[in-house]
Homo-oligomer: A and B are copies of this chain.
């Protein structure tokens, strides 16, 4: 099975790049139909163009009402035949205008072990709190920010002296593993949501190893 994926970006789109690379090598059974940004200068758009993926821009300024913006994004996604939506650094809360048409089919990655450090600047929040275990979370999107049911979490160590940048770089490596893994589980039809619990059919039980994730990473994401 191959899913038709749309990716929403606002910035550098390094998670988008990880997804593009994994799709190219055949590790995610997805077809990236379109990459949409709310910022025309987003580097993520360049990454998409280089990969030959259609792009589109929807500017806040053109849609004074948030719902109109969301409707335009839905129109663009539907026009591209998108079934599943992955947010990759898309800095905007979504309204029901967006979430209802794609109910249960929007996922996001957040650079912290939710519910810790939701919101902006999660890497800085973690560094400033002095956590020893930082990490990232792939979750379904609901109307509350960084709140929906969790698919997978990955932990990375934080050390005294870490700042938002050094810690953020360590978290980002883990993001680039767990987001493609989660999307492949979705593409394989193995992901089921029951209330706030996300079941991944056939997933192992985390029990150590080099990558501190749960569920555990599967090949090729565990290398």
Contact = CB atoms under 8 A, between A and B. Distances in A.
A214 B157 contact: yes
Contacts of A220: none
Copies of this chain, how many?
Answer: 2
Interface stretch (A24-32, A61-69, A95-103, A195-203): A195-203
Interface of A: 113-117, 125, 128-133, 135, 137, 149-155, 157-161, 194-199, 205-215
Nearest to A192: B160
29 contacts: A113-B113, A113-B133, A114-B116, A115-B117, A116-B117, A128-B196, A129-B150, A130-B150, A130-B195, A130-B198, A131-B150, A131-B153, A132-B137, A132-B213, A133-B133, A133-B154, A133-B212, A133-B213, A155-B155, A155-B212, A157-B207, A159-B205, A159-B214, A160-B194, A160-B197, A160-B198, A160-B199, A207-B210, A208-B211
